[in-house]
Amino acid sequence: MVLSRVVNIILRAAEMAFAAIVAGITGWILARSNKHSEGFGEFVYTEVIAAITILVALIWLIPFSSSFIHWPFDFFVSIWWFAAFGVLVHLIGDGCGYIFNWDNVSPRGDMCGKFKADIAFSFLLAICFLASGLVGLLWVRKKERQVGAATTHHRRTRGWHGRSRV
């Protein structure tokens, strides 16, 4: 129980930090482009889900049990980030070399390094939200089993056919 809470807090903090990095890089790219630039819509999409992610991760960083029941939304946001990853990979194409060559990845480097950093952190966000969803799903399943076991135990102590002996 404590381990799942610690993992949840670590994942939420990572999601917030990674989303802030993506929002910063993407915002920098958007500031230097205009709405007629190639890939403008893709960067706006990435910026919007980064803002939503920062807000959600900040709210769910508060360590309450209710932060675990949002696991379907975590899977949904993971799909958003996998889509952003795919869109950004498609956008960069072969213009900056092999996409998984991480030699020049840097949020402060050249434009190709910034693109690749944006792509890398988008992928990390997708994985973090997928992991958050799995942790939440496992926590909810465990709680359901505990409640089911308590209910079964309660029925057995009430007597024959579940009726009281009075």
Tell me the Ramachandran region of residue 39: left when phi exceeds 0, alpha when psi lies from -120 to 50, beta otherwise.
left
The whole-number pLDDT of residue 51 equals 95
Answer yes or no: is pLDDT of 96 > 90.
no
Backbone angles phi and psi of 164, in degrees to 5: -75, 160
Per-residue tokens: 6 = 């610690």
What is each CA distance from 164 to 84, 88, 152, 155, in whole angstroms?
A: 59, 65, 15, 10
pLDDT one-digit tens code per residue, 105-130: 776 767 888 888 899 999 999 999 99
pLDDT one-digit tens code per residue, 53-73: 999 888 888 766 565 667 788
